[in-house]
Amino acid sequence: MSIRLLTASAVALGLVAFAPVANAQDAATVDQAIVVRDAAMRSNIAMDYVTQLTTGFGARPAGSRSEQQAAAWAADYLRANGFQNVRIEEFPLVGWERGESSAAIVGDNAQALVAAALGHSPATPRNGVEAEIVRFSTFEDLQAAPDAAVRGKIVYVDLGQMHPMQDGSGYGPQTRVRGAGPGVAAAKGASAFVMRSVGSDEDRMPHTGTTRYVDGKPTIPAFALAAPDADQVSRLVALGQPVRMRLTSTARTYRTTSQNVIGDLPGATRPDEIIVLGSHMDSWDLGTGAIDDGAGGAITVAAAKAIADSGRRPARTLRVIFYGSEEVSQPTPQTGNGGAVYARGQGAALDKHIIAGESDFGADRVYALRLPAGAQGSDFQKAATRVLYPIGVLASDRVETEGGVDVGPMGPLGVPFFGLAQDGTRYFDLHHTANDTLDKIDPAQLNQNVAAWAGLLWLIADSDVDFRAMKPTAPMAR
């Protein structure tokens, strides 16, 4: 208690510049982190932010008018909440618009299917594509198929349902199909590509997501079927008769701009030292981007605001960034997604970026803290555990190496990452679907996120912890 009182007195006497440099594990720093954490848990900023954002602007596809309007609104929101140096960093982008699309079985067993075109997949010819389908149950089978088995057909890949996992680890193998599948099918002469949605639900909701260009160009029209429709098609294929499908899409790309929105809470004594709190402003077009990623913006802005409202300003600067175009950017030599644009633009200033974290995995509770390799077993990790364990967050032996799509581009440039891992068990029920709407956010779990971020950030921001200088003191796992 005495140390805390001393620090408080120093602030009160205007002696901040002479205050001793704090260690993150100092009792006073930990105590204040707990105060901030508990205040954050009671805050209503996060729910307010994500309610206003999703209600006011609905879906915010990268480069769309609604993403641009939402960015302008968010800048105002930051200013109104006391953030400083609020700015919008604009960049060029190839946008993608879904237009109209349809999918159906034709001929025997004719029936409509519920499907969504994959992001950046090209339009079909005006009259659509109609062909027999050829089904693959693994990506490797598609890769190994002779061209003659695929040419002129609609390739259908059904890996089976993605399993829900707390850490979302079922996602990777399936997104490989989404990203690369259309290109592989196109190279073999397929007329179109269809896959089971990457998702863990059994709702009649297709999951969209970006598919990759090959050699900088779109490939063939590509679609994701809702899970019940994937089941249906696979049952019909199992009957052993040919299944014909008809697909239409009027999707198009266009030149536009997106933008990062940046606002700072300047540090009291070392404002050039930056901690980045990242999330993204854009969303897929089908939902309103509540869990992906309105929630991330809500969590990070509310955590910073809880610190600003704590009555004490930490030593270092907290920088909130609402990145643009996380979802559908197709990087070209001239453009990139918001994360790449920000990292490139910072140049040497990245040396003073202490650490970066990203919230982009929904709004369900945080269960684990992941730190850079050097912090494993450190006193900092122990201090963080004292702050986070009481709200259900354990230190993970999994090292945070990637950060996420938005902050990730700073990694190769030397910026360390932390991660506050969220429960993703139901995330992929909703992810990239029309069902990503405000009502899916549990306010109590959202605020647990805000509390975890605020408590951890206080430890980092009001101390001189240097993750770059840390060396592992305990055996690293994984």
CB of residue 98 to a copy of itself, shortest distance in Å: 10
CB of residue 231 to a copy of itself, shortest distance in Å: 6
Q: Which is nearer to a copy of itself, 121 or 435 (CB)?
A: 435
Helix (H) or strand (E) holding 296: helix 295-308
Q: Which is nearer to a copy of itself, 81 or 232 (CB)?
A: 232
CA dihedral 169, 174, 176, 180 (to 10 degrees): -170
CB of residue 73 to a copy of itself, shortest distance in Å: 11
In this structure, which amino acid lies at residue 154?
A: I
CB of residue 285 to a copy of itself, shortest distance in Å: 8
Q: Which is nearer to a copy of itself, 263 or 287 (CB)?
A: 287
Coil, strand, or helix at residue 156? strand
Q: Which is nearer to a copy of itself, 422 or 435 (CB)?
A: 435
CB of residue 161 to a copy of itself, shortest distance in Å: 10
Strand 366-370 relative to strand 316-323: parallel, antiparallel, unpaired? unpaired
Binding-site ranges for a copy of itself (CB under 8 A): 51, 54-59, 66, 105, 109-112, 114, 202-205, 227-228, 231-232, 235-236, 287-288, 433-435, 437-440
Residue carrying the six token digits 């399936």:
174
CA 450, 467, 87: angle at the middle one, nearest 5?
55
CB of residue 114 to a copy of itself, shortest distance in Å: 6
Please report the DSSP string for 188-224 in residue order. TT-SEEEEE-S-S--SS-----B---BTTB--S-EEE
CB of residue 445 to a copy of itself, shortest distance in Å: 16
CA 177, 183, 189: angle at the middle one, nearest 5?
120
Q: Which is nearer to a copy of itself, 227 or 369 (CB)?
A: 227
CB of residue 286 to a copy of itself, shortest distance in Å: 8
Helix runs in 93-243, H state only: 139-144, 147-150, 171-187, 227-238
Residue carrying the six token digits 């294929």:
237
Q: Which is nearer to a copy of itself, 231 or 379 (CB)?
A: 231
Distance CA 476, CA 435 (A): 39
Q: Which is nearer to a copy of itself, 223 or 467 (CB)?
A: 223
CB of residue 204 to a copy of itself, shortest distance in Å: 4
DSSP code for 6: H
Q: Which is nearer to a copy of itself, 204 or 386 (CB)?
A: 204
Q: Which is nearer to a copy of itself, 438 or 465 (CB)?
A: 438
Contact 175, 205 (CB under 8 A): no
Q: Which is nearer to a copy of itself, 140 or 439 (CB)?
A: 439
Which residues, 6 or more positions from 449, have their beta carbon under 8 angstroms from its beta carbon? 46, 295, 299, 359, 363, 365, 366, 420, 422
DSSP code for 104: E
Distance CA 424, CA 446 (A): 13
Contact 211, 118 (CB under 8 A): yes
Q: Which is nearer to a copy of itself, 110 or 349 (CB)?
A: 110
Task: Measure Cα distances from 325 to 50, 210, 284 in Å.
Answer: 18, 12, 10
CB of residue 100 to a copy of itself, shortest distance in Å: 8
Per the DSSP assignment, residues forming a β-bridge with 103 are 113, 247
Q: Which is nearer to a copy of itself, 59 or 395 (CB)?
A: 59
Burial group, residue 2, by CB count within 10 angstroms (0-12, 13-18, 19+): exposed
Contact 372, 417 (CB under 8 A): yes
* C-alpha dihedral sign at 397, 402, 404, 406: positive
Dmax over CA atoms of the chain, in Å, equals: 84
CB of residue 55 to a copy of itself, shortest distance in Å: 5
CB of residue 26 to a copy of itself, shortest distance in Å: 45
